[in-house]
């Protein structure tokens, strides 16, 4: 993101949350503190990719209201925070962007005065409410932005549909391990569909479409952006799955033990089980879902996934989705400046942190 735009986005969010924290103080100090912890979390991390997509698309399709688009772009960072805070509760993660997430922060505070099980419960309750706040503020700033009411209603409808899709993808992802064996969830199509509904729309398609819509782009142009987002978003999620096992924790800002301890059902792990010898498969099954899995066991998982070709197979699939995204960019109707930027984005998503 251009430094000036990034600074505007971050200043807008910081000012918004400070203002809301002051208002929350009238309701109660705990509420004000929660707003402050949201501000700390958002300020600490994130690439601001989604706000940048909003601004890039808006500018490329002829948008001229450079000040008015900032709240719209900021709304997508708040929406992102809403998704991540709730996702961390589901995944039982307590770290985000190199420090404690909302659950992690309040757990450390609460465990000083109450027993651990209760501290976990209340910390997750605080985090759930923090996600709700981010979701609400995302819509508030979008609808208060300086665009015609008819355009804002279309924009809100797009975000509402995105929320519906993301929740469905998150539920499908969460429900995968319940009452099913790996063999029963050994379905590439289903696992890819989860990636598309959980990540692609809110991370790529929706921010691009929001900016383009408010600039006056046509429906075929919006459809083109949606198709592009579906392809690159799937590649992005597949890369996330690889980084969840093979990533550098310093760059990720969270533990690489989380996915194996959670027994997360990913295409990478599905390939790993399918391609393994009987001995290696049993090793994987013994480790996956073990909440006490160690780094030695993580190394064992990494070695198996590299040895049997699962890692290489997912890398190839990422390449296929990136190629499909580039094909969409070659269709008529997309401004050259946006096509150039999105081509660079495809390269980044395809090779991210390799």
The pTM assigned to this predicted structure is 0.92
Q: Are residues 196 and 309 in contact, defined by beta-carbon separation less than 8 angstroms? A: no
User: What CATH number should be reported for the domain whose range is 167-354?
Assistant: 1.10.600.10
Domain residue spans in the chain? 1-44+66-146, 167-354
- In whole angstroms, what is the distance from residue 102 CA to residue 159 CA? 24
Per the CB < 8 A criterion, the answer to whether 81 and 38 are in contact is yes
Question: pLDDT, tens digit, for every residue of 210-221?
Answer: 999 999 999 999
pLDDT at 1 over 60: no
What are 96's strand-pairing partners?
A: 99
Q: Can you say whether the dihedral through the CA atoms of 71, 75, 76, 80 is positive or negative? A: positive
Q: How far apart are CA 258 and CA 235, in angstroms?
A: 21
- pLDDT beyond 60 at 63: yes
Reduce the DSSP state of residue 48 to 3 states and report it.
Answer: coil
- Model confidence over 314-329: pLDDT tens digits? 999 999 999 999 999 9
CA distance 250 to 158: 35
Length reported for the chain: 354
Interatomic CA distance for residues 102 and 88, integer angstroms? 9
pLDDT one-digit tens code per residue, 171-198: 988 887 776 666 555 568 878 888 788 8
Task: Check: CB of residue 53 under 8 Å from CB of residue 201.
Answer: no
| Phi, psi values for residue 299, rounded to 5° | -60, -40
């Amino acid at each position: 993101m251009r430094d000036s735009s990034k600074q505007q986005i971050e200043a807008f969010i910081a000012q918004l949350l400070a203002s809301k924290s002051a208002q929350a103080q009238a309701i109660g100090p705990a509420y004000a503190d929660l707003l402050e912890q949201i501000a700390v979390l958002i300020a600490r991390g994130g690439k601001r990719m989604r706000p940048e997509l909003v601004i890039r698309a808006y500018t490329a399709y002829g948008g001229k209201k450079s000040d008015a688009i900032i709240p719209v772009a900021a709304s997508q960072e708040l929406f992102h925070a809403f998704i991540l805070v709730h996702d961390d509760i589901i995944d039982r993660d307590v770290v985000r962007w190199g420090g404690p997430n909302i659950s992690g922060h309040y757990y450390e505070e609460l465990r000083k005065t109450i027993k651990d099980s209760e501290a976990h419960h209340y910390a997750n309750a605080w985090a759930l409410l923090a996600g709700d706040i981010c979701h609400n503020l995302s819509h508030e700033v979008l609808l208060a932005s300086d665009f015609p009411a008819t355009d804002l209603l279309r924009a809100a409808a797009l975000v509402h549909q995105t929320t519906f899709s993301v929740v469905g993808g998150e539920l499908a992802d969460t429900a995968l391990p319940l009452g099913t064996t790996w063999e029963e969830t050994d379905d590439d199509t289903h696992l890819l569909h989860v990636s598309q509904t959980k990540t692609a729309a809110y991370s790529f398609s929706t921010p691009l479409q929001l900016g383009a819509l408010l600039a006056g782009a046509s429906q075929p142009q919006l459809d083109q952006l949606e198709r592009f987002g579906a392809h690159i978003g799937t590649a992005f999620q597949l890369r996330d799955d690889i980084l969840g096992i093979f990533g550098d924790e310093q760059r990720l800002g969270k533990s690489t033990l989380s996915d194996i301890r959670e027994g997360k059902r990913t295409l990478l792990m599905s390939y790993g089980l399918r391609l393994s010898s009987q001995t290696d498969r049993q090793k994987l099954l013994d480790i996956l879902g073990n909440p006490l899995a160690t780094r030695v066991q993580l190394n064992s998982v990494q070695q198996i996934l590299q040895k049997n070709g699962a890692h290489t197979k997912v890398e190839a699939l990422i390449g296929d989705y990136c190629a499909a995204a580039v094909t969409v960019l070659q269709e008529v109707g997309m401004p050259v400046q946006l096509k150039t930027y999105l081509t660079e984005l495809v390269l980044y998503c395809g090779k991210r942190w390799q």
